[in-house]
């Protein structure tokens, strides 16, 4: 979940490296640094702090046209100047940047590298010394030999002052790509770093390395077997990473949701047969009819979106479905059933825990599809089938448009599965009509942002808050509580509404507001009873609903348009995104880059 960038070509490397790192800063922003191969020495500039701060203090003498850079999310060692990347060997000749975790770093220090003096607390420095210790002439052979001794996940880029014509890169569990320019080459952990220079990219696979020179590249496996990799065009455009006149990327991405939903729906609605058509699903009707269960896997917001998706599938397709945290799945030695469809959800397509779950399912013969936002990502390639969100790049650490687009993707999946099984054409048509109306309804909610901002003042002064919801409202409450925690640092917990009286009600007080997600459904009266219980303890209540009916006792009510009941959570979540955003704004938080978090979690 750190960011890597590298450059070889005819231009000065340092400005390109710092520019690329700033575009990757959402992947880690504890510290940053670059190493540039100079005419006589390897020059390293690194420090704790944001990329812009580190770049502003960079010496002017960082000349050179080959270099690597890194922006860090700390794992081994605190975010200090010494622990910042790049790390160098004892001679100062070899520099390494690294994403991932070297699991046997302590063992290597005690054996192969016994007696070596280390300048940092990081596992990455082990790689620099290990590469230098290998008895080979070519840098790529040194790197390959060193990696054969390593256990763990890595995406690395390496330069050697004595071989200034190349960068050697490798990946195993952490993404690395090459980008092909005109007489210049780039390496990166994410296309965002290089998209302003070229849209031609090459994705490395696990246990694959590349030697990159200004005129081209050569790829091979960790076992020294040559591989063939042709560049492909990335659909991402550079302007997608700009704020577009908004104060923050999060605000921009919240407001991009009507367009993102339109893209998610584009070409996928079959109105003639009142169904959806997902070309990436690759399941014929017989296979769909043979399904006995659907299991959704994800982490964080992807897990909460999975809860919503499982509910939609059970409701519309009448197939038993549930969601589970991917980080726990493989460690309980799961039973992989041949008649179960497994669905892996990951915005980045690189989430390590979710990727490991996919690999476990495949190893045991299961059928798994991906729901991802990033074409060419590891999970997309591992699954080989699934649903792309087409939401466009999401830069803010906090997921908004990809969460909503994932909900739309699950609605389409549930509709297609349902129409193949027992869902009638009338209900299929009803869902399609609701999906068609969704972008305009989301825009209607966004147009009422000022009302939400005023309500956010009630949360900004609280030290803790509850979020409650039942059935369709429960996962909305879970996601909303996470949003508030992530960017405002206000402690928040989410519960099913009926569970409040089984313990959490003890904490309700005038100082602890409750946000109640109340769809206009068969549980309306029961939700009102729960609100009455809170008010009886003098707890403030903010209600989010799609009903026009009065809500007695509520301190504030945020209303969204009516839609099909199955899709109501998609609309109910939008004002809660704005609520968290404006709460954080009023508290002066760093909204796009909240403390301790990063966008793409590629370590376990």
Does the residue 534 lie in any domain?
yes
In the chain, what is the straight-line distance between the N-terminal and C-terminal CA atoms, in Å? 10
**250 and 237 within one domain:** no
Q: Tell me which of 191, 221, 241 is where a domain ends.
A: 241
Q: Find out whether 329 and 368 touch, Cβ atoms under 8 Å.
A: no
Q: Find out whether 513 and 541 touch, Cβ atoms under 8 Å.
A: yes
Does the residue 602 lie in any domain?
no
Q: Find out whether 296 and 269 touch, Cβ atoms under 8 Å.
A: no
- CA 7 to chain CA centroid, nearest Å: 25
Q: Find out whether 462 and 492 touch, Cβ atoms under 8 Å.
A: no
User: Which pLDDT value is given to residue 598?
Assistant: 67
**191 and 134 within one domain:** yes
**459 and 431 within one domain:** no
In this prediction the pTM is 0.85
**248 and 199 within one domain:** no
Residue 183: left (phi > 0), alpha (psi -120 to 50), or beta? left
- How many distinct helices (H) and strands (E) make up the chain? 18, 27
**CA gap 396, 25 in Å, rounded:** 10
Element (H, E) at 329: helix 326-329
**270 and 207 within one domain:** no
Does the residue 598 lie in any domain?
no
Does the residue 601 lie in any domain?
no
User: Which pLDDT value is given to residue 191?
Assistant: 84
Residues forming the active site: 2, 599
Alpha helix (H) residue ranges in 178-325:
249-255, 257-265, 285-289, 301-317
**272 and 418 within one domain:** yes
**CA gap 584, 236 in Å, rounded:** 29
**CA gap 388, 371 in Å, rounded:** 6
Q: In this predicted model, what pLDDT tens digit does every residue of 21-70 receive, in sequence order?
A: 988 877 677 889 999 998 888 999 998 888 888 888 888 878 899 999 99
**273 and 136 within one domain:** no
User: Which pLDDT value is given to residue 113?
Assistant: 93
**218 and 116 within one domain:** yes
**126 and 219 within one domain:** yes
Q: Find out whether 69 and 34 touch, Cβ atoms under 8 Å.
A: yes
Does the residue 129 lie in any domain?
yes
Of the candidates 150, 160, 126, the one whose C-alpha atom is nearest the C-alpha of residue 207 is: 150
Omega cis (within 30) before 105: no
Total count of domains within the chain = 3
User: Which pLDDT value is given to residue 350?
Assistant: 87
**164 and 71 within one domain:** yes
**324 and 261 within one domain:** yes
User: Which pLDDT value is given to residue 143?
Assistant: 97
Does the residue 600 lie in any domain?
no
User: Which pLDDT value is given to residue 315?
Assistant: 96
User: Which pLDDT value is given to residue 238?
Assistant: 66
Of the candidates 168, 195, 155, the one whose C-alpha atom is nearest the C-alpha of residue 179 is: 195
User: Which pLDDT value is given to residue 177?
Assistant: 92
* Domain extent for 372: 243-443
Does the residue 599 lie in any domain?
no
Q: In this predicted model, what pLDDT tens digit does every residue of 442-467 receive, in sequence order?
A: 999 999 999 999 999 888 889 899 99
Q: Tell me which of 241, 260, 287 is where a domain ends.
A: 241
Q: Tell me the CATH number at 98.
A: 3.60.20.10
**CA gap 37, 35 in Å, rounded:** 7
Residues of the chain whose pLDDT is less than 50?
A: none
**383 and 468 within one domain:** no
User: Which pLDDT value is given to residue 597?
Assistant: 77
Q: Tell me the CATH number at 509.
A: 3.40.50.10490
Q: Tell me which of 421, 443, 465 is where a domain ends.
A: 443
């Amino acid at each position: 979940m750190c960011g890597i960038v590298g450059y070889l070509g005819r231009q000065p490397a340092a400005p390109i490296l710092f520019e690329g790192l700033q575009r990757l800063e959402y992947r880690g922003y504890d510290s940053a640094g670059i190493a540039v191969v100079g005419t006589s020495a390897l020059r390293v500039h690194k420090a704790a702090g944001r990329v812009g701060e580190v770049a502003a203090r960079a010496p002017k003498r960082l000349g050179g046209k080959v270099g690597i850079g890194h922006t860090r999310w700390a794992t081994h060692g605190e975010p200090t100047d010494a622990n910042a990347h790049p790390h160098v060997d004892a001679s100062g000749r070899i520099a390494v940047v690294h994403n991932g975790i070297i699991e046997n770093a302590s063992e290597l220090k005690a054996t192969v590298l016994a007696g070596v003096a280390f300048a940092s607390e990081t596992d990455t420095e082990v790689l620099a010394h290990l590469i230098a210790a290998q008895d080979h002439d070519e840098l790529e052979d040194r790197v390959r030999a060193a990696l054969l001794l390593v256990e763990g996940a890595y995406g690395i880029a390496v330069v050697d002052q004595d071989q200034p014509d190349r960068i050697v890169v490798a990946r195993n569990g952490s993404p690395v790509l090459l980008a092909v320019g005109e007489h210049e080459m780039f390496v990166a952990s994410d296309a965002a770093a290089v998209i302003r220079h070229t849209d031609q990219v090459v994705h490395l696979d696990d246990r694959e390395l590349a030697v990159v020179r200004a005129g081209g590249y050569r790829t091979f496996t960790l076992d020294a077997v040559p591989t063939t990799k042709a560049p492909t065009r990335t659909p991402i455009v550079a302007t997608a990473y700009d704020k577009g006149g908004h104060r923050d990327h999060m605000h921009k991405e919240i407001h991009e949701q009507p367009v993102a939903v339109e893209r998610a729906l584009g070409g996928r609605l079959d109105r003639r047969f009142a169904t959806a058509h997902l070309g990436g699903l690759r399941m014929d009707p017989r296979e769909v009819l043979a399904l006995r269960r659907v299991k959704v896997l994800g982490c964080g917001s992807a897990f909460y979106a999975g809860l919503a998706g499982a509910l939609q599938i059970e409701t519309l397709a009448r197939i038993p479905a549930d969601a589970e945290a991917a980080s726990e799945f493989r460690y309980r030695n799961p039973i992989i059933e041949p008649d179960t469809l497994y669905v892996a959800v990951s915005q980045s397509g690189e989430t390590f825990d979710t990727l490991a779950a996919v690999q476990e399912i495949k190893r045991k013969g299961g059928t798994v599809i991906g729901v991802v936002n990033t074409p060419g990502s590891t999970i997309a390639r591992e699954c080989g089938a699934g649903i792309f969100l087409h939401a466009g790049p999401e830069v803010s650490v906090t997921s908004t448009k990809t969460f909503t687009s994932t909900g739309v993707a699950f609605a389409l999946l549930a509709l297609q599965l349902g129409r193949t099984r027992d869902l009638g054409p009338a209900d299929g048509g009803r869902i399609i009509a609701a999906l068609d109306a969704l972008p305009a309804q989301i825009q209607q909610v966004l147009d009422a942002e000022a009302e939400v901002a005023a309500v956010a003042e009630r949360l900004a002064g609280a030290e803790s808050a509850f979020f409650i919801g039942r059935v369709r409202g429960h996962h909305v409450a879970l996601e909303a509580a996470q949003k508030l925690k992530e960017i405002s640092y206000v402690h928040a917990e989410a519960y099913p509404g009926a569970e409040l009286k089984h313990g959490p009600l003890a904490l309700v007080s005038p100082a602890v507001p409750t946000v109640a997600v109340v769809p206009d459904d068969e549980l309306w009266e029961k939700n009102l009873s729960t609100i009455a219980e809170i008010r009886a303890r003098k707890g403030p209540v903010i209600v989010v609903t799609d009903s026009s009916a009065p809500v007695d006792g509520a301190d504030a009510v945020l209303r969204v348009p009516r839609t099909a009941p199955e899709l109501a959570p998609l609309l109910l979540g939008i004002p809660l995104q704005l609520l968290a955003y404006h709460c954080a704004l009023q508290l002066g938080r760093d909204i796009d880059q909240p403390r301790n978090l990063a966008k793409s979690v590629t370590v376990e």
